[in-house]
Amino acid sequence: MTKPNLLSGMQPSASSLHLGNYLGALRQWVAMQQTHSAHYVIVDLHAITVAQDPKMLAENIRKTAAQYIAAGLDVDSSTLFIQSHVPAHSELAWILNCIASFGETSRMTQFKDKSQKGGSDNASVGLFTYPILQAADILLYQPKAVPVGEDQRQHLELTRNLAERFNNRYGKVFEMPEAVILKETAKIYDLQNPTAKMSKSAGEPKGIVNLLDEDSVISKKIKSAVTDTDGEIKFEPESKPGVSNLLGIYSAVSDKPISVLVESYQGVGYGQLKQDVADAVIATVSPIREKTNELMNDTSHLDSILEKGAAKARETADKTLRDVQNALGLIPNRNN
């Protein structure tokens, strides 16, 4: 039996993923490779919707790929590639630009949030049409499943609307993709501000455990996590957010239920808990860091993995694009 297609994308916007990205998303992507024919795309063209430093961008694209591979993404059974290596993404995005209405695109809340920050005069047109490029990323691969965080639900709805409109007007080309909203099995909070989600954009460095942090740095960050003064190890996110977050992290990296951990820590102090959480996090994260560093030490090998991924991706993407062009009445270019 063939496995259903899956596609998801990640922005290469940071030099290191953090523990929240790993436990909340990446780990699930790795698991979904078993049951799906998975396509994972590093969306560099989405990243440039806001200004990027060119050197940093190139480094972040490779580092993002390296961290995914290091975390268990299997480049033989799955397809890992860079968006700009598959020109069909840009070409289908233009076509979908001509299908999407200005009104529906204007209703995307992520654009409203992002453009408000810098003022709409400073927001690029690319930021406005970002969700349409995302729709192209998805529809080219005819995926059944698109695993994303809750914040991407609206972009998935737009994608489905565009697919349906295209199919109604020009005949069925696109499969309807389904959003698989990743339940945050492990929602990880900032170590310094444990009522806020761990997030690159919000937190101070001390509150965020990066996958590429050295062991000593991880240990220090976890040991200086904000807790409370009553000294009891209990899982009560409302009244004890700091301790509860540590228990949540511990449970996610050790696969032990929180209740079992709480039981075994009766009468034990926060110092011991932090030490054990640090050890468990390091045991999970340091092999990923080491493998990432290895991959980054040989970028020509890494680039060749990504080129192979792009060649595989182009086979599927180009076929869909041809079907779209035919349906629209564009004359095929037989050189392609």
> Order of strands across the sheet with 79-82?
79-82, 37-42, 5-10, 145-148, 178-181
> Considering CB distances under 5 to 8 angstroms, the limit depending on partner class, which of ligand TRP, ligand AMP, none binds residue 21?
ligand AMP
Mark residues 94-133: x for contact with ligand AMP by CB under 6 A, - for none: ----------------------------------------
Tell me which of 5, 9, 12, 20 binds ligand AMP, using CB under 6 A: 20
Select which of 144, 200, 206, 291 is catalytic: 200
Is 240 an active-site residue?
no
- Other C-beta atoms within 10 Å of 68: how many? 22
Binding of residue 280 to ligand AMP (CB under 6 A): no
Decide whether 198 or 278 has the Cβ nearer to ligand AMP.
198
Is 200 an active-site residue?
yes
Shortest gap between Cβ of 103 and ligand AMP (angstroms)?
26
In one letter, which amino acid is 182?
Answer: L
Tell me which of 86, 138, 139, 173 binds ligand TRP, using CB under 6 A: 138
CA 61 to CA 9: how far, in whole Å? 12
For every residue of 164-202, DSSP letters joined together read HHHHHHH---PPPPEEEEPP-TT--B-SSSTTSB--TTT
Footprint on residues 132-161 left by ligand AMP (CB under 6 A):
149
Helices 215-223 & 270-296 angle (0-180, nearest 10): 150
User: Does the CA dihedral 258-150-112-205 come out positive or negative?
Assistant: positive
Binding of residue 225 to ligand TRP (CB under 6 A): no
Decide whether 115 or 286 has the Cβ nearer to ligand TRP.
115
Grouping H, G, I as helix, E, B as strand and the rest as coil, residue 297 is coil
Select which of 187, 197, 223, 308 is catalytic: 197
Tell me which of 135, 146, 198, 285 binds ligand AMP, using CB under 6 A: 198
User: Does the CA dihedral 15-18-20-23 come out positive or negative?
Assistant: positive
Binding of residue 276 to ligand TRP (CB under 6 A): no
Binding of residue 142 to ligand TRP (CB under 6 A): no
Strands (E), 255-300: none
Grouping H, G, I as helix, E, B as strand and the rest as coil, residue 80 is strand
Binding of residue 247 to ligand AMP (CB under 6 A): no
For residue 147, what are the β-bridge partners?
180
Binding of residue 148 to ligand TRP (CB under 6 A): yes
Is 312 an active-site residue?
no
Binding of residue 44 to ligand TRP (CB under 6 A): no
CA 80 to CA 75: how far, in whole Å? 6
Tell me which of 17, 26, 42, 43 binds ligand TRP, using CB under 6 A: 43
Binding of residue 13 to ligand TRP (CB under 6 A): no
| Cα 227 from chain centre | 29
What are the Cα distances from residue 228, in Å, to 24, 194, 246, 273, 275? Answer: 25, 11, 12, 13, 16
> Considering CB distances under 5 to 8 angstroms, the limit depending on partner class, which of ligand TRP, ligand AMP, none binds residue 46?
ligand TRP
Binding of residue 188 to ligand AMP (CB under 6 A): yes
Q: Which residues bind ligand TRP (CB under 6 A)?
A: 7-9, 11, 43, 46, 134, 137-138, 146, 148, 152
Q: Which residues bind ligand AMP (CB under 6 A)?
A: 20-21, 23-25, 149, 182, 184, 186-188, 197-199
Active site residues: 114, 197, 200
